[in-house]
């Protein structure tokens, strides 16, 4: 059995930066279910972190807690130095626009054209009249064009989301994040609905965007093939607790077997190349 390491990873791989998130004994219970148990770790500006672990480990709950969608039932979570339990009004709205979220699917509003979906990234910054006007006459068309160009979908500016493939829709969602310019991006299994090749493209795009914009990135991943080369740190959750932390290269097959238990075979982890 692997020992539980709650310590920070070696500082040689973690870039220096301001604290984006800090969890101090943070726990989250839903009735009798302890979804997260006494988490203690920090996330620094510029880090690119992958969160892994079997289903039910608490990965989605962790991301919702970091985004201040839910508050810890005990302990403290700070986002950009603010205790998320005390956030209200303008400060909470500001926080929301500083955190960009990418989901598994359904990232786009299906009855809005691609251009409007991309410009939704501005909503947190625009005052209401400008936001409403933008639905009729897109404000800042150039920002939308530029972001779509970066994900190689400029010709889809006026398309409806339904005309795009799943991979293209995820790229539009990434373009919206680029327009939003958040300080941190949280992506909850963004590639689990895509095949491995498309998944790799999306992860490369996301980590490339994070690097170029110097945005902190946290991705919750089920596909371990995508870890190498894109992340500075891996946090493994099991039964709501931090089971292991390290760099992608420090991952061993033994650790993965202990982490995933019965799921290990089903995930074909024996076929995963660990330090590709």
Ligand X SMILES: Nc1ncnc2c1ncn2[C@@H]1O[C@H](COP(=O)(O)OP(=O)(O)O)[C@@H](O)[C@H]1O
Q: Please report, as ranges, the residues that interact with ligand X according to CB under 6 A.
A: 30, 33, 35, 53, 55-61
57 binds, among ligand X, Mg ion, none (CB under 5 to 8 A by kind): ligand X
35 binds, among ligand X, Mg ion, none (CB under 5 to 8 A by kind): ligand X
State which residue, 178 or 187, has the beta carbon closest to ligand X. Answer: 187
Number of residues forming the site for Mg ion (CB under 5 A): 2
11 binds, among Mg ion, ligand X, none (CB under 5 to 8 A by kind): none
State which residue, 148 or 241, has the beta carbon closest to ligand X. Answer: 241
Can residue 105 be called a binding residue for Mg ion (CB under 5 A)? Answer: no
- In the bound complex, what is the minimum distance in angstroms from residue 151's beta carbon to ligand X? 26
Alpha helices in the chain (DSSP H): 59-66, 89-98, 114-119, 128-136, 141-150, 166-180, 196-213, 253-260, 263-266
User: Tokens 């493209």 identify what position?
Assistant: 201
- In the bound complex, what is the minimum distance in angstroms from residue 57's beta carbon to ligand X? 4
* Residue 29, φ and ψ in degrees, nearest 5: -120, 140
Which residue in the set 24, 60, 104, 159 belongs to the binding site for Mg ion (CB under 5 A)?
60
- In the bound complex, what is the minimum distance in angstroms from residue 70's beta carbon to ligand X? 8
State which residue, 200 or 222, has the beta carbon closest to ligand X. Answer: 222
State which residue, 42 or 56, has the beta carbon closest to ligand X. Answer: 56
* Residue 252, φ and ψ in degrees, nearest 5: -120, 160
- Spatial distance between the Cα atoms of 1 and 121, rounded to a whole number of angstroms: 45
CB within 8 A of 193, min separation 6: which ones? 104, 105, 166
State which residue, 56 or 166, has the beta carbon closest to ligand X. Answer: 56
Q: Return the SS3 of 239.
A: coil
* Residue 244, φ and ψ in degrees, nearest 5: -160, 145
* Residue 78, φ and ψ in degrees, nearest 5: -110, 140
Nearest residue to the partner Mg ion, using Cβ: 60
């Amino acid at each position: 059995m692997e020992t539980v390491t709650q310590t920070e990873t070696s500082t040689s791989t973690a870039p220096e930066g301001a604290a984006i998130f800090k969890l101090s004994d943070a726990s989250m219970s839903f009735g009798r279910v302890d979804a997260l148990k006494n988490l203690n770790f920090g996330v620094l500006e510029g880090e690119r972190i992958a969160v892994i672990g079997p289903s039910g480990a608490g990965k989605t709950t962790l991301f919702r807690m970091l985004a201040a969608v839910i508050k810890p039932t005990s302990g403290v979570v700070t986002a950009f130095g603010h205790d998320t339990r005390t956030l209200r009004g303008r400060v909470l709205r500001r926080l929301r626009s500083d955190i960009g979220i990418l989901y598994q699917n359904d990232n786009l509003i299906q009855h809005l054209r691609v251009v409007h979906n991309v410009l939704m990234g501005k909503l947190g910054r625009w005052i209401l009249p400008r936001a409403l006007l933008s639905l009729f006459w897109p404000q800042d068309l150039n920002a939308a064009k530029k972001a779509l160009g970066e994900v190689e979908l400029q010709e889809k500016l006026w398309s409806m989301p339904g005309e795009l493939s799943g991979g293209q829709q995820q790229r539009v969602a990434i373009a919206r994040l680029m327009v939003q310019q958040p300080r941190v991006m949280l992506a909850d299994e963004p590639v689990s609905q895509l095949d491995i090749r498309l998944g790799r493209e999306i992860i490369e795009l996301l980590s490339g965007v994070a690097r170029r914009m110097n945005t902190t990135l946290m991705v919750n991943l089920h596909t371990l093939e995508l870890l190498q080369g894109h992340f500075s740190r891996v946090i493994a959750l099991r039964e709501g607790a931090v089971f292991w932390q390290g760099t992608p290269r420090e991952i061993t097959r033994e650790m993965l077997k202990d982490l995933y238990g019965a799921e290990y075979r089903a995930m074909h982890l024996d076929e995963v190349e660990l330090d590709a």
